[in-house]
Structure formats: structure tokens, C-alpha cells
Structure 1
């Protein structure tokens, strides 16, 4: 069985991802900006408050600076961080209302309690987005508390992943190449979404080929044995850095939360693309 940190990630990530993929959430966010990326940045960066673009670029990791700068320029003038936080919760509320196959309210409420406790146990040091989300107040509705807890947990893990990549010498573009070469995400969607120029992508593949980590061609890179070992090391380091909440919750209650999350995650996966830029394993 996967490590608790990885097993729980596969279950809570789809719940968090409702805000980016559920039609109702996307509709609710329309007021925040002129494009998907403006709305994405407005909502995801909202817990940070009114910070410089360079801070958002650093916190997100993996996005070209001009992708973030252009997105922020397209955010509606009245879409303050406070407004964006309210809109994303309203969108998630609507998204939950549209999901089929959700368990009954008692299951969601129990999952919310355990997930919130796990999120409270996240170590904030060096984890900017995780800390910013953990500082937000708990929503009253159990399904929204569950969503906010999963968001804190996934941003905590994401912050940990950026640190693991840095320690293992993989910059943002290199990390995308490795992700695609590992078969975790579609290359075209990842490159367009993060705005990686073709020349930059090709140059990075050439560097990774020289390092013996991948083989070409540019549109279908594949990991070598050494590349697969590096990829596994990064994922293991991420799991270890994200283990704190589950150690605090303990094995029995972590297992209970996993059981409770399974039907919620299954319902959420119906609106998340099977092959996605997030890198979630296919169902």
C-alpha cells in the first residue's frame, strides 16, 4: 500500500480540484477575470493577500513569470483577495450541489472533522501557500470545511514538492519534462498551461538527455532508468515532507479518513479529466 501521504493525496486532491474543473465552480468564478488563468490566479493566490507578482510566481512554482503577470493583469478590478476567497467558496458550494454519488451528510461531516484536524497539524515552515490556507477561518458548512481542509493539505504538499524538486536539482521546466516523461500528465496541456515556449522545452529536454535522465523526442520524452530513479526519489521526498498531518492523526484515524474520502473523491473525479496536468493517477 502507498505511504499514507501519497494515498491520502490521491483522495483529497480531486476534492480540492473541484474549484478548477467543476462547471459550477468555473461559472461562479467568471466575475473574477477575463480568462481562466486570471480567475485561477485570483482564487489560488487569494489566501496570500495583496502581494507582488513575484511572490505569486515563487509560491506557485512551475509557471512562467509572464503567465502569472498576464493573468493578474486580467483580474477584474473589484476582485480583491477577500472577494476571490468568497467567490471560490461559493463556487465549491455549487459544485458539491451538482455532484452525483456523494455519501450522506454524516459521512461528509466526519470526514471534515478528521481532515480539518490533519490540516491543523501541517507544519507551516517553508510552506507559504499551505500556511496561507491554514490561516483561513473554518467555513460553517461541513462540505466547505472539508474542501478548505483538503486545499490546505494539497498546498502544504505542493510546497513540499517544490522543495523536493529544488533539493534534487530540477527546475520548473525540467520538472515538467520529467512529469510528462513519467506518463503523469499530457505534455501539450502542461506546456500551454504553464506557458513554456517550444524552444525552452526543447532546450530543457536536450539538457536532460545529456544528463542521462530522459530520451526524446520532444513531444514524447521518456525516462531512462536513472531518470526514473530520480523521479522516484523526488516523490519519496515529497511524501516524507508531507507526512506530518498523518503522523499527527495516527494510523487508525488516517485510515478512517481515507475510507470516508473514497466516495467523495470518486464523485469529484467525475469532473476532473482522467489524464490531467495535476498528475493524479488515472482511476
Structure 2
């Protein structure tokens, strides 16, 4: 059972915050102006009332204009504390719709929370901020929060890998598209880079020999992407080493039906490549 195996089970659970109508309703209810303000405010609320600069750096994949349209304005409509409560309420409501109102996820929440609390913080801005949040009493909320901590911990490590290998945000998106499984139009619309930026990054990837003229991965590009994923996995192992093989396998088994129920509700070809 690898770090990637656990991520594939936890990511769909986390992703309800981006794609469920309940989460959008929760964001609207606290005054967020549009989808992207809600997305940004919900995701960065654990950091407190931050401005755009550290968020642009931590997110990595979005153009600065997407973040500056959301921050700091979001905090004039709702405090980070209110945003945290709204995101927890919205995701729990969505998960209960998908899993059933009487679902018992106590054991899964306990195991995931144990792993999340063992995560190493250095260099993990979003992961550490989420790990510092108090455990909710509601097991559904606790499971979602643990999944989010582990997801952001892995994501922070992934960004570090990209930076060390000289891969910018648009390059990373194009490598993902070249590998397949993601809808190109959906990714381009959601990430909002300019046509010129997409073109420049594509030309650079071809110059590096990682993609061909059709934007598909070459052998060298496949090797590079495999190495990125290997290093990302290596950076994400600490929580799972702390949990141990037996408990990690038990958690995976508990998550299988939960993740499957959620994945069917996510849009196909979505930007995280799940659904």
C-alpha cells in the first residue's frame, strides 16, 4: 500500500469541496462573490486572513489574477473562521448525501486523523495549516478534514518537486494533459492562463524533448513525469510510515466504497484527474 494508493482514495473525498452543490451553496451563504472567491477562501482559510502573494506561491498552478480577484476581498465578506465552518458544513452535507445520512465512518476518520497528525510540517504551508485545526466531533467532518490535511501535505511536496525540476505552473498542466485523463478545455478554462502563456510553455516542453508536436509525451517526457510522481510519493510517505502497513491497508479498505461513491459524483476529466 503506497502513498499514491492512499491519495487516490482520499482525493475524491476531499474534492467534494470543489464540485458539490452543497459546498457552493455554503460559500454563497457567507457572501462569497462567485465560484473562485469561494474556492480560494475555503482553501486558504486555515492560513488566516492572508493576502494574495503567499497564496499564489502556495497554490502554484493558478495565475496571479485569479487569486487577486479573490483576496483580500473575500475577508471583507467573511472571516476565515466563518469560511472554515462553512466549508466543513458544506462538505459534510455533500458526503452524507453520497454516503447516506446514517453512514458510520468513525474508524476511517480515526485512522486518517492519526496519519494526518503524523505529517511532517517543514515546507508544507497548506498541509501544516490544515493539520493545526482542531478535530471536529462529527466523524464525517473529521474524515474530510484528515483527507484534506493529507491531500494538501502531498500537494505541498509535489510543488516542491516541480520547483526543483524547473517546471512552472503551465508546464505542469501541459504535462498532465499530455499524460491523458484530463479534459483539455476544462483545465484551460479553470486555470485561466493566457493563450500566449500556454503556447510559450508548450514550446518549452517541445524544446526539452518532453512532448511532441501534437502535445503528447515523448519517451523522455514519460520518464520525467514518472520521476515527478516518484519523488512526490517519496515526499508523502511520513504519515503512512507512522500509521504502519496494517493500519494503512485497513484504512484503504474502509475508504474504497466511500471513494467510489464520491468519484461518481465528480465531473469526468476534471482538473485533478479523478472522477
Unaligned runs of 5+ in 1: none
8 Å Cα contact 1:205-1:216 kept in structure 2: no
* Alpha-carbon displacement from aligned partner over 1:44-91 (angstroms, at most 9, x marks no partner): 010011122101111111100011101226637231111100100110
What is the correspondence of 1:53-132 to structure 2 with a 5 Å cutoff? 53-72=52-71, 75=74, 77-100=76-99, 104-105=103-104, 108-132=105-129
8 Å Cα contact 1:213-1:224 kept in structure 2: yes
Q: Are 1:23 and 2:21 matched, yes or no?
A: yes
What is the correspondence of 1:95-244 to structure 2 with a 5 Å cutoff? 95-100=94-99, 104-105=103-104, 108-217=105-214, 221-244=215-238
* Alpha-carbon displacement from aligned partner over 1:256-277 (angstroms, at most 9, x marks no partner): 0000011111111122113110
Query: CA shift at 1:213, angstroms?
Result: 0.6
Unaligned runs of 5+ in 2: none
Could you tell me the TM-score, scaled by structure 2's length? 0.95
SS in 2 for 1:17: helix
Q: Are 1:51 and 2:19 matched, yes or no?
A: no
Partner of 1:6: 4
8 Å Cα contact 2:99-2:258 kept in structure 1: no
8 Å Cα contact 1:101-1:263 kept in structure 2: no
Runs of 4+ in 1 over 3 A off after TM superposition: 100-104
Query: CA shift at 1:195, angstroms?
Result: 1.2
SS in 2 for 1:215: coil
Q: Please identify, of 54-63 and 186-195, the stretch whose mean Cα deviation from structure 2 is larger.
A: 186-195
Query: CA shift at 1:191, angstroms?
Result: 1.9
- What is the CA RMSD across the aligned residues, in angstroms? 1.6
Query: CA shift at 1:113, angstroms?
Result: 0.3
Partner of 1:245: 239
Query: CA shift at 1:97, angstroms?
Result: 2.4
Structure 1 CA distance for aligned equivalents of residues 23 and 13 of structure 2: 12
8 Å Cα contact 1:129-1:155 kept in structure 2: yes
Query: CA shift at 1:102, angstroms?
Result: 8.3
The number of equivalent residue pairs is 274
8 Å Cα contact 2:205-2:211 kept in structure 1: yes
8 Å Cα contact 2:92-2:144 kept in structure 1: no
* Alpha-carbon displacement from aligned partner over 1:87-126 (angstroms, at most 9, x marks no partner): 0011012112211468841xx1000000000001100000
* Alpha-carbon displacement from aligned partner over 1:132-191 (angstroms, at most 9, x marks no partner): 000001000011100000000000000000011112221111111101111142222222
Question: Quick one: structure 1 residues 74 and 215, their matched pair in 2 at CA, closer, same or farther if it must change by over 3 Å?
Answer: farther
